[in-house]
Structure 1
Amino acid sequence: MSLVQWGLDRLPGSYRDVLLRHQELLKFAAVGAATWFVDTGIVYALKLTVLQDKPLTARAFGVLIATIASYVLNREWSFSARGGRQRHHEAALFFAVSGLAIVVTLIPQAVSLYVFDIRVPRVSAPTQALANFVSGQILGVLLAMVFRFWALRRYVFPKDLREAELEIL
């Protein structure tokens, strides 16, 4: 028995039914959580070492590596019951959607740094670090997650490929 099944067996029926109805969203959220840690680890490893003065560059590298992990995990687990496209076409669509999501991820932090000017020397380094964390790691990632879930379900891993193609036309 899997850990997930063990946990589901201990929940009241009404909660279990809701979780089962939304299992794709929950799996997507779990992948998102895992890749958030990948992204965060990479961003801060780079910001504390070789990219101290380039927080957006560090963010872009973190998002890129987390996106690659996200494709593999979403393809093999979250949306494993969907698809039907040839793998190379599906991967191209995934990375196109993720490319747009990278832009979505960067927008809140760019606004924080360049519109509100929350950066050194105007503010202290801890203030900039906190603003970068909130705007990049929380707001940016949440906005991109909503966008990705919608786009992945609709375009990359459609339930029925023929229906999805008709919707696009």
Structure 2
Amino acid sequence: MKFIIVGGFCYVVSLVVNYALRLTVFDAKPVTALTIANVIATVVSYFLNREWSFRTRGGRRRHHEMLLYTVVNGIGVAVNSAPLWIAQYMFGLHVPNVSRTVEELSDFVFGMIIGVALAMVFRLWAYRVWVFPHDDVRPAPNRYEVPTQAAAVPAPVASDTTGA
């Protein structure tokens, strides 16, 4: 469930960055815009997955884990971009072959739905197998455990030396 929540958040990051780029500097390059958006979302995803979704999994040194994560997500970005590339350059679903509306709809379906779904399945599998392979290697904080306080030591009692 946590993986899906992180994925949903990163999907929104990818969507916003993708369309921000498409509506400004990469109007004629939808595959480039999607690829950059996915790279940014991947960086966000690493930290959220590492510290929340897979916080008890691991088994590797952090630099090795991050290298594997980078390789897996490099493949994931390619998997995500592939359907859009196929739609644009193999099927010719771009202006002037089709209307601007058809191109936008095609880009959304192939890039943001099909591509994301394929990449999500690949990443979930690859994270569990290669990046965070062992379960329960890092302790998870227990939400229900009440922190224990050190026993209070009573203050020394002043002795009455007056004899009264």
Which residue of 1 is the match for residue 7 of structure 2? Answer: 32
Which residue of 2 is the match for residue 59 of structure 1? Answer: 34
Which residue of 2 is the match for residue 83 of structure 1? Answer: 58
The secondary structure found in structure 2 opposite 1:158 is coil
Code of the residue aligned with 1:134 in structure 2: it is V
Which residue of 2 is the match for residue 48 of structure 1? Answer: 23
The secondary structure found in structure 1 opposite 2:71 is helix
Identity value in percent: 49
Higher helix share goes to which structure?
A: 1
Instruction: Name the CA distance, whole Å, in 2 between partners of 1:143 and 1:55.
Output: 18
More relative contact order in 1 or in 2 (CA 8 Å, sep 6+)?
Answer: 2
Instruction: Name the CA distance, whole Å, in 2 between partners of 1:43 and 1:159.
Output: 34
Does 2:79 correspond to 1:104? yes
Which residue of 2 is the match for residue 69 of structure 1? Answer: 44
**Residue number among 131, 134, 137 corresponding to 1:159 in the alignment:** 134
Answer yes or no: is the 8 Å Cα contact 2:56–2:135 preserved in 1: no
In the TM superposition, what is the alpha-carbon distance from 1:84 to its structure 2 partner?
A: 2.4
Deviations 1:144-165 (A, max 9, x none): 000000000010001259xxxx
Question: What pairs with 1:1-16 in structure 2 (closer than 5 Å)?
Answer: none
Which residue of 2 is the match for residue 16 of structure 1? Answer: none
Q: CA RMSD in A?
A: 1.4
- The answer for unaligned runs of 5 or more in structure 2 is 137-164
Question: What pairs with 1:106-121 in structure 2 (closer than 5 Å)?
Answer: 106-121=81-96
- The answer for unaligned runs of 5 or more in structure 1 is 1-25, 162-169
In the TM superposition, what is the alpha-carbon distance from 1:115 to its structure 2 partner?
A: 1.3
- Bigger Rg, which one: 2
Code of the residue aligned with 1:86 in structure 2: it is R
Deviations 1:7-54 (A, max 9, x none): xxxxxxxxxxxxxxxxxxx11111100000000000000000111111
